[in-house]
Amino acid sequence: MAKLFKGRFLGRLKLSRKFLLIYILCVILPLVTTDVILLRSIYENEHTTQKNYRNTAIEAYATYLRNSLEYDATLSSAIDINKSLNNFINTWYPLPYDYYDKLVSNITSSFFSTLSDLNQDRIVIYSDNPTMLSGNYFHNIEEIKNEKWYKRFSVSNLNEAVYTYYDTSPIIVTQDRNRFIYCHRMNNVKSSIEKIITIEHKRSNIEKGLEEIPVNCTMYLCCDDYIIYTNDSEKLEYEEVVKLSEYEPYLTFKEFKMYGNTFKIYALTENLTVSNVIQNNIHVVILLILFTLIIPNIMMKLLEKSITDRISILGKAFGEGSNELFQPIEEINGTDEIAALMYDYNRIVDINNEKTNTIYKDKLREQESDIARKNAELLALQSQINPHFLFNALESIRMHSILKGENETAEMVQRLAVMERQNVEWHGDAVTIEEEEEFIDAYLQLQSYRFGERISFEIDIAEDCKKILIPKLTLVTFVENACVHGIESKSAQGWIFVRVYKSGRKLVIEVEDTGDGMDEADAMALQYKMNGVTIDMIRNAKHVGILNACLRIKMMFRDRAEFTIESEKGIGMSVIITIPDDMIKTAD
């Protein structure tokens, strides 16, 4: 079975499919399993974290409520033990004036009014003393006989208690219709008069205090079947809040008794789903995807590419064996078995090509003879250039002598001597660009005598290009063409620019003039001839100067040189020569 599976199934699969199978079985499945376990752990940790949030929030609310009520108890006890206040309440006043006088002299300026003013909530003392008038701080118990909280407090045996209820028909409808009242019996000074201290908390004060507590969940603070406070915008009823216990494990509930009443606090967090966990831990999920899916996938692709690419190169090399000679693999990366196989292939290619070369030796000798013949013809063509330049130089001297006499003839002859000396001293067909520059400068100086202010020139040779070898008298041929066919045919002042520099991995030679220029069609035709020039074309041409120079350049640089012409009629013309830097040779 194993042999059948291995031979008939795996043997038919391409390498890319095999790598995919390995990636799925050995990488994806284990990583997905690991990720599921990790996400499960994160999910459970989120549950624990939410539970801690809820417990912390409940404790914070309970502490706030406990502190508030303890402050009420402390304040009430301070009022209760005040003998002056108790005497004021226990006293019977014959006339309302007597009561008012006592109130102003003993109470309004006392600490009681100060405490009441400092507290933002409402402090009221109720008593059954009928001689006291109801006012800001003191009211008669008759006024609250029907209040829910009083009915409960009067029948209880508690000295202090807390009550809450919703006022359905308040005298003034405000947002503080939710009543939260702390009650305290004044028993410190014995008396037949019933006295009750009440501190009624405003709902807005409670909300302000609880809103300052930072929580990460929805909170409900309840007492006596009323919701004292909630940060839930939906404003649920109490019965709906009680049903929240069905949302376990997303809810924590706690109740505690204080001052005769039971308080209930509900803390609710969002329903924890997989999408919630992913959203809350997006950075962890991104890291999981990065390290368990993306990076392994990239590494597997690189491994696959390392193997399949080199096998493809090897297969392509064998496919090229249908040519006359096998081509060796030029670049071999790595040291593994595939690299060793590629090295073995190269050794076989070397042996095979060596045998093949023996067959072609006679053919190569014939080719060498043909090349030698062509070189001789090129040297003969080169010899035609020197008289051509000499004629132009002498013509300049003749014209200058006719027009101006013999004042500057000596200097012109000196320029001519420089040109001839350069021509005599150079040996072979190759010279440096620096040497060609001297010839161009001498030639243009002579032309400046001929054209006067009608011609200006600028030669800019980059320092790293001066020692590069080119065929001699080639650049000056393009310069001469710019003078004769560009500047001479234009009456206005003209410029000739010669630039040599390197751009990227190429040598660039530019000869530009601001002469009369050429039509686009003529320029394209000349460019075509320059790039496709042959010896036969030169033999049949009337004017061999430019084509001769192009052919010698192409021969020297093995047809890798390219010629471009940019021209606009009436504006000027530019000849651009580009040569790859791997074909460049420099003078020793």
What are the backbone dihedrals phi and psi of residue 169, each rounded to the nearest 5 degrees, phi first?
-140, 70
Across the chain, what does the average pLDDT equal? 78
Residue 228: CA count within 13 A, CB half-sphere:
28
Given this model, what pLDDT does residue 458 score? 94
**Total tally of structural domains belonging to the chain:** 3
Q: For residues 425 and 553, state if they share a domain.
A: yes
Find out whether 506 and 580 touch, Cβ atoms under 8 Å. Answer: yes
Q: For residues 564 and 482, state if they share a domain.
A: yes
Position 42 pLDDT exceeds 90: no
Q: Residue 441's domain is classified under what CATH number? A: 3.30.565.10
Read off the pLDDT of residues 410-430 as tens digits, 9 standing for 90 and up: 456 556 655 655 554 545 678
Given this model, what pLDDT does residue 303 score? 72
Q: Residues 1-27: what's their mean pLDDT?
A: 63
**Boundary-marking domain end, from 209, 238, 268:** 268
Is 38 domain-assigned? no
pLDDT band (50, 70, 90) for residue 246: low
Is 313 domain-assigned? yes
Position 1 pLDDT exceeds 50: no
Q: For residues 569 and 486, state if they share a domain.
A: yes
Position 368 pLDDT exceeds 50: no
Q: For residues 258 and 326, state if they share a domain.
A: no
Q: For residues 301 and 395, state if they share a domain.
A: no
Measured CA to CA, the distance from residue 272 to residue 65 in angstroms comes to 30
Report residue 151 as tokens: 């009915």
Q: Is the bond into 249 cis (omega within 30 degrees of 0)? A: yes
Measured CA to CA, the distance from residue 197 to residue 119 in angstroms comes to 14
Which residues constitute the domain of residue 160? 52-268
Q: Is 268 helix (H, G, I), strand (E, B) or coil?
A: strand
Q: What is the DSSP letter of 128?
A: -
Position 370 pLDDT exceeds 60: no
Is 9 domain-assigned? no
Which is nearest to 511 in space by CA: 580, 457, 582, 588? Answer: 457
pLDDT band (50, 70, 90) for residue 369: very low
Tell me the sheet residues that pair with 458: 497
Measured CA to CA, the distance from residue 531 to residue 258 in angstroms comes to 105
Q: For residues 484 and 393, state if they share a domain.
A: yes
Is 377 domain-assigned? yes
- pTM, 2 dp: 0.46
**Boundary-marking domain end, from 334, 359, 384:** 359
**Boundary-marking domain end, from 215, 246, 268:** 268
Q: For residues 76 and 168, state if they share a domain.
A: yes
Is 46 domain-assigned? no
Read off the pLDDT of residues 309-329 as tens digits, 9 standing for 90 and up: 777 776 676 666 555 556 777
String of DSSP letters for 89-103: HH---SSHHHHHHHI
Given this model, what pLDDT does residue 506 score? 94
Q: For residues 335 and 403, state if they share a domain.
A: no
Mean pLDDT: which of 186-195, 199-208, 395-404, 534-543 is highest?
Answer: 186-195
pLDDT band (50, 70, 90) for residue 34: confident
